[in-house]
Structure 1
Amino acid sequence: MKIKMNNRKIGYTYGSVSGHYPFRKKSSIAYESLLERDFLIMLEFNDSVSEVVGQPLSLIYKNKNGKTVPYTPDFLVYFNEPNTPLMRLKRKPLLIEVKPKDKLEKNFCEYKYRFKQAIKYAQENDLIFKIYDESKIRTQYFKNIMFLKRYQRLNFDNEDIDEILSFLYVSGNNSIEYVLEYFCVTKEQKGLMLSLIYNLLYHKKILCNFNQPINMETQIWLNELNEEESL
């Protein structure tokens, strides 16, 4: 199998939305749909992800008509070295295709040839090929990210931040409601404290189960171990 290393260029795509996403303000990654953009947002929030390369390579393969054509996967995702004793093996990079579920179902007979080549290439190069549709991207995890993003740029006094972090360090897991009741008296105080909690959650100073809806019963705790996240 030949590998064509020049990447495809991002241009206007009929019926879709394209652009460039400022990934962690360190790199600009091209996307060709809102679903691809949402996937990048999900990756950006995941601390186990170290780097994302857009349209990393082109594979040359024969389609169902026997014609030689190129196929360019959407992303190549690299992971950080494991930083806990429970995760001793470094995760293999992921070669990713992002497609809406209806397109996958409608065009599977066409896509299966390119996906077969992608799987083969991944196996030969110590990668894992995965396909992501909206059911794997626009999850509760993603909904929580989009909710918490509203609070990411808010500024708070260091004294208030240290107070809540110290409290969680001593007390361990607590519900958001319990923390509000412990620190606050008035409705205004609770509103400000809640915004601070959401800000700390977004920046991973404190943690919760991001796969569950965030509400007053949500348990939060101090991020002491920089817990690894799955993808």
Structure 2
Amino acid sequence: MRVRRVVTRRGRHIRGYFPSKKMKRMVAWESLLERDALLLLELSPGVVTYQEQPEELVYWDGEAMRAYIPDLRVSLNDERALLIEIKPSSELTRPQVKAKYRQIAEQLLAQGLDYRLLTDKEIQQEPQFSNLKQLLYRYNHPASPLPTRSQLAAAFYLTESLTLAQCLERFGSDVTDTLIAQARLYVDLTQPLAPTSFVQLPAGGDRHASVYF
């Protein structure tokens, strides 16, 4: 349960909810950048669960103890928990803001807590961000029927990889997009998707534990 519960439109701030299939509920966001970050968490196969505004922590700012609520707590496939703060990179050019989050990071890490500060540079990096937006529809609305595990294995029986064009010809675009969105097929989303892009079956647990941030 999140600490701050009210999500409203107030002043210049745009707030709302992200429909999460992974969490089976609407997840609150308090900035457009937070909303974009939720897309990465939703489609990252290595993210098991996530919680917005999860808990109130305290840190020492050099003068007094201050309350701090991270934007997200993420549970990863390797059983680690990660606290995340979302901030526009432009805000971190201000020395006071930069110093604040450096203090928070140092103190949380000293307590054995994994902590990351994500900016628009990591969240909206292209072409990954556009690729994920394209896959979101089929993640939420998967094509049907989908090939079984044995049918996928047969398609790759004589080769480690197929091109995206070959997958589209064999499975069709809707099924191919669904399989990639569900991490049943792997393609490097940090690169532009093209007919010659290599598509593979996920290798062991490594790719199933991958995250997009």
Output the TM-score relative to the length of structure 2. 0.79
Alpha carbons of 1:62 and 1:25: their partners in 2 closer, same or farther (altered >3 Å)? Answer: closer
Q: Specify the alignment match of 1:223 in structure 2.
A: 202
| Alpha-carbon distance between aligned partners in 2 of 1:169 and 1:15, rounded to the nearest angstrom | 55
Q: State the one-letter code of the partner of 2:116.
A: K
Q: State the one-letter code of the partner of 1:229.
A: S
Q: Specify the alignment match of 1:93 in structure 2.
A: 81
| Alpha-carbon distance between aligned partners in 2 of 1:126 and 1:29, rounded to the nearest angstrom | 27
The correspondence for 1:137, drawn from 104, 113, 123, is 123
CA RMSD of aligned residues (A): 3.0
Aligned 8 A contact 1:54 1:74 in 2: yes
1:205 and 2:193 are equivalent in the alignment: no
Q: Specify the alignment match of 2:45 in structure 1.
A: 47
State percent identity of aligned pairs: 22
Q: Structure 1 unaligned runs (5+)? A: 1-5, 82-89, 184-191
Runs of 4+ in structure 1 deviating by more than 4 angstroms, as ranges, are 60-64, 66-69, 158-165
Whichever of the two has the greater Rg, that structure is: 1
Q: 137-146 vs 21-30, which deviates more? A: 21-30
Q: 125-134 vs 51-60, which deviates more? A: 51-60
Q: Specify the alignment match of 2:19 in structure 1.
A: 22
How far 1:164 moved relative to its partner? 5.3
Deviations 1:52-101 (A, max 9, x none): 1211233445769x5765332211222122xxxxxxxx6x4322111111
| Alpha-carbon distance between aligned partners in 2 of 1:80 and 1:209, rounded to the nearest angstrom | 20
Q: Structure 2 unaligned runs (5+)? A: none
Q: State the one-letter code of the partner of 1:53.
A: Q
Aligned 8 A contact 1:13 1:32 in 2: no
Alpha carbons of 1:150 and 1:161: their partners in 2 closer, same or farther (altered >3 Å)? Answer: farther
| Alpha-carbon distance between aligned partners in 1 of 2:151 and 2:134, rounded to the nearest angstrom | 24
Q: Specify the alignment match of 2:145 in structure 1.
A: 157
Aligned 8 A contact 2:146 2:175 in 1: no
1:56 and 2:42 are equivalent in the alignment: no
The correspondence for 1:146, drawn from 133, 140, 159, is 133
Aligned residue pairs, count: 205
SS in 2 for 1:56: coil
Deviations 1:166-218 (A, max 9, x none): 2124433011223455x4xxxxxxxx712221121111121111211111111
